[in-house]
Amino acid sequence: MAKVFQFMSSASLEMLTGRTASNVSELEEMIVTCSESSVFYHTFSALLKMREAQAPYNSDFSAWVAENLHAPALAEKLTAVDFSEYRTVEDLRNRLLEIIRTYREEQAEASRRSCYEPFYLHDVRRFVYLTDKFAYDLASFRELLPTISIYSVYFHFIESRLSANLDCNDFSEWIEETLGLPDLASRIRRIDISVYTIEGLRQRIIDVVDDYLEKMPAEEDRNGGRA
Amino acid sequence: MSEVKLMDYREVVGPDIVEELMILAAHVGERSIKMVNSTKVGGGVAEMLHRTVPLLNELGITTTWDVIEGDEPFFEITKAFHNALQGKEGEFTKKQLETYLEYNRANFERMSFDEDLIVIHDPQPAAMISFMENRKNSWVWRCHIDMSHPNRGLWEFMRPYVEQYDAAIFSSALFSPVLSIPQYRFFPAIDPLVDKNRDLDENYVSSVFEKYGIPRDKPVVTQVSRYDPWKDPVGVVRAFKMARRYTDCRLLLVGDKAADDPESDTILEIVREEAGDDPDIHILIFSPSIATEINAFQRGSDVVLQKSLREGFALTVSEALWKKRPVIGGAVGGIPVQIINGHTGLLVHSVEGASLAIRTLLGRSPYAKELAENGRQRVKDEFLVTKNLKRYLLLCLGLDRKGFETTFLE
């Protein structure tokens, strides 16, 4: 019997640290010294919120740099970082620092510019939990997709790579490894999170699965796709 | 208010959100909370507790709410405390501080604190913790006011009490002072099912405009706010007049006025003077306002303004965004948290900016609609009572744990 997929979700309790940054060099210092959970909060958690509000940033750092430091080039470079490529927060932290340091070298003058509103560093206590939704095959997976929360979609598509140290999202992993549908897994893996809201991402996954189910070869149908 | 059940929120926020609240509540398990504040009626805190307490009980967290008792001298002192902690200069006499502590002791002795978590709201009952001996439960101070620049003298007196708590909660990073205890951030929240925010029939909305003699023959730009200089109603009138040179519209100012507040009389006089006899400017004064009518004014408006010069959190912004209105807000206090400029609304810093924003939103309705849609989503994600419930559940889980590693709940 195929391994059942139990949907999970996550939630965050936001904390205030009292720490602020007022220019690029202070931001760099902050990113160097802050906790891993702070980096997670201002990147992975922020992305979820910004996608939902359709703001053109992927982190609190890039939003602050654009809105308060008025450094659009740096904001663009930070926004272009694709979090789904990072399997640890430390890797992501290093990438952000690399971008900031390069900017400081190239734009020494702009780096000293002070902001309108400081950046307030937050931290987070994060909780991951199982939901009561189970997929047994592709059909039940498809059926459940519209009913899970956006937090669950986000957890499986983006966050879980960090805990599972995966190269790809949970959905693709399960579809490939358990259902034995590498083509579908690959199509889901290629969905670009930077252009969708989480609701849009959910719909895109549904569309890809529907399309696949419609064209599914009979052999695969018997093996994994339909109950 | 009490007839609303947790399940009623399924239709508003989605069944998935309510289901996850129930899962988190199951992980919290058998737990009890006591909320303590200074009033059962009036004000945002009481309004929020009226809804949060029964909903937490529905989620299986035994939650009670107690209100401290006091008389005129005590509440006069705590009102002065409130203003001073928000930055007002001035000194307090030894006698005043002693009176504050006496009332805190009397209330402490009158109440019991056997619950697992005690949440003390605002400064009035904050010193009660000092009378608790051999404390085994968790105490958290929920501060709803802007404490970013507290009166130094009073803060030196208050701080040792606040730092006895296990944690403090503030509405924004902007509002919190430096403390030795952990600080959590809980945004204030609106309730989508109360009269002020629930869906209304369009006929009712029209009838309210009709009742107050406001024709809807042209776009309506509205600010719902107290007549207070910091809400800048005069700036709103000026911005409206500048915008109207380019686009035909009406201005509606809707505000409360405390009967005994001479300052609001003065500002109202200035607003009227600025408005002159312009037939497109409608100034309404409520004392007090009727929630469904305020709701109707917001829903019936083409653009909603909150052009404040200084603010607390300004939940009127969330109220308007929830109703899918394009909103223009002053970039102060908690407004930028709600309005991501250019994405969930427009932020402004001047009368000229507000005027331009009015023209933009009235002239580019697809853009205005997009901002309004995104704004509603932002409120749904962050500023609804259901999110507040989630935060309390996470607080119960978080207080049990040290460190910042991700917790897998099993």
Per-residue pLDDT tens over the stretch A74-110: 999 999 998 878 888 999 999 999 999 999 999 888 7
Partner B contacted by A165 (CB < 8 A) = no
Instruction: Establish if A84 belongs to a structural domain.
Output: yes
Q: Give the pair of three-digit tokens for residue A83.
A: 């979090």
Q: Give residue B39's identity as a one-letter amino acid code.
A: T
Q: Which residue of B has its CA nearest to A9?
A: B20
- Judged by phi (left if over 0) then psi (alpha if -120 to 50, else beta), residue A62 lies in alpha
Give yes or no: residues A101 and A23 share one domain.
yes
Q: Is B395 at the interface with chain A, CB within 8 A?
A: yes
In a domain, A2, yes or no: no
In a domain, A62, yes or no: yes
User: Model confidence over A168-217: pLDDT tens digits?
Assistant: 889 999 999 999 999 999 999 999 877 888 888 999 999 999 999 998 76
A17 and A49 fall within a common domain:
yes
Q: How close A217 comes to chain B (CA, Å)?
A: 33
Confidence at residue B288, expressed as pLDDT on a 0 to 100 scale: 73
**Overall number of domains in chain A:** 2
Query: For the purposes of burial, counting CB atoms within 10 Å of the CB of B132, is it exposed (0-12), middle (13-18) or buried (19 or more)?
Result: middle
pLDDT band, very low/low/confident/very high, at A220 (cuts 50, 70, 90): low
Contact B344/B374 with Cβ under 8 angstroms?
yes
Hunting for tokens 């009660």 — which residue is that?
B128
A18·B182 Cβ contact <8 A: no
Side-chain half-sphere CA neighbours of B283 within 13 A: 19
Strand residues in B174-332 grouped as ranges (E): 183-185, 220-224, 250-256, 281-286, 303-306, 327-330
- Specify whether A80 is located in the same domain as A59: yes
Q: What pLDDT shows up at residue A203? A: 95
Does A120 contact B341 at a Cβ distance shorter than 8 Å?
no
pLDDT of residue A159: 85
- How far, in Å, CA of B148 to CA of B163, rounded? 16
CA pair distance A159, A151, nearest whole angstrom: 10
Give yes or no: residues A99 and A41 share one domain: yes
Check CB contact under 8 Å for B178 and A18. yes
Q: Domain boundary residue among A106, A123, A140? A: A123
* pLDDT exceeds 80 at position A227: no
pLDDT band at A226 (very low <50, low <70, confident <90, very high): very low
For strands B327-330 and B303-306, give the pairing. parallel
A36: its two tokens: 């891993």
Contact B381 A163 (CB under 8 A): no
CB B82 within 8 A of CB B145: yes
- Kindly report the nearest CA distance between residue A222 and chain B, in angstroms: 31
Interchain CB contact of B377 with A (< 8 Å): yes
Q: Which residues pair with B190 in a beta bridge?
A: B384
Smallest CA–CA distance, residue B357 to chain A, in Å, is: 17
Tell me how crowded residue B5 is: count the other CB atoms within 10 A of its CB: 12
Q: How far is A73 from chain B (nearest CA, A)?
A: 19
Whole-number Å distance between alpha carbons of A131 and B315: 32
| pLDDT tens figures, B395-406 | 999 998 777 678
> In this structure, are A40 and A90 located in the same domain?
yes
pTM, 2 dp: 0.92
Residue A142 lies in a domain: yes
Are the C-beta atoms of residues B185 and B179 closer than 8 Å to each other? no
Say which residue the tokens 């001479």 belong to. B262
- Distances A130 to A25, A97, A200, B24, B207 between C-alpha atoms, Å: 41, 34, 23, 10, 49
Q: Which domain holds residue A18?
A: 12-123
Compute the nearest-CA separation of A199 from chain B (Å): 11
Fold (topology level) of B202-382: Rossmann fold (3.40.50)
Instruction: Check if A118 contacts B (Cβ < 8 Å).
Output: no
Residue A4 is assigned to a structural domain of this protein: no
Of A13, A67, A126, the CB nearest to B341: A67
Question: Taking a C-beta distance cutoff of 8 angstroms, is the pair A129, A32 a contact?
Answer: no
The whole-angstrom separation of Cα A36 and Cα A78 is 18
B377 φ, ψ (degrees, to nearest 5): -65, -40
Please give, rounded to a whole number of angstroms, the shortest distance from the CA of B91 to a CA of chain A. Answer: 27
Annotate B342-375 with b (16+ C-beta within 10 A) or e (fewer): ebbbbbbeebebbbbbbbbbbeeeeebeebbbbb
Considering the domain architecture, whether residues A157 and A216 belong to the same structural domain is answered as yes
Are residues A57 and A73 both part of a single domain? Answer: yes
**Is residue A22 located within the same domain as residue A118?**
yes
Domain boundaries along the sequence of chain B = 6-189+384-399, 202-382
Q: Using a CB-CB distance cutoff of 8 angstroms, which residues of chain B are in contact with residue A149?
A: 14, 16-17, 19-20
**Does the domain spanning B6-189+384-399 belong to CATH 3.40.50.2000?**
yes
Considering only CB atoms, B394 lies closest to which of A123, A127, A197, namely A127
- Is A118 in the same domain as A36? yes
Residues of A in contact with B406 (CB under 8 A): 10, 37, 126-128, 163
Gyration radius from chain B CA atoms: 22
Among A61, A95, A123, identify where a domain stops: A123
- Reading the block at residue A153, the tokens are 């979609």
Note whether A151 and A196 are same-domain residues: yes
Q: A107, A123, A139: which is the final residue of a domain?
A: A123
pLDDT at B260: 57
B397 touches chain A (CB under 8 A): yes
Q: Is the pLDDT of residue A46 over 90?
A: no
| Residue A1, pLDDT above cutoff 70 | no
Given a cut of 70, the residues of chain B with pLDDT beneath it are 1-2, 258-261, 404
By residue count, chain A amounts to 227
pLDDT (tens digit, 9 = 90+) per residue, B151-179? 999 999 999 999 999 999 999 998 888 89
Chain A residues in contact with B27 (beta carbon < 8 A): 127, 129
Measure CB to CB from residue A127 to each of B178, B185, B397 and give the nearest one: B397
Q: Is the dihedral of CA A154, A160, A162, A166 positive or negative?
A: negative
Identify each DSSP E strand in B186-244 by its residue range.
220-224
Count how many pairs of residues, chain A against chain B, have C-beta atoms within 8 Å: 115
Whether residue A119 sits in one domain with residue A143: no
With 0-12 / 13-18 / 19 or more C-beta atoms within 10 angstroms meaning exposed / middle / buried, residue A122 is buried
> Distance between CA atoms of B159 and B151, rounded to whole angstroms?
11
Q: Which helix (H) or strand (E) covers residue B141, if one does?
A: strand B138-142
Any chain A CB within 8 A of the CB of B407?
A: yes
Examine the domain organization and report whether A180 and A143 are in the same domain.
yes
User: B40 and chain A: CB distance < 8 Å anywhere?
Assistant: no
What's the rounded mean pLDDT across residues A69-73?
A: 90
pLDDT at A2: 60
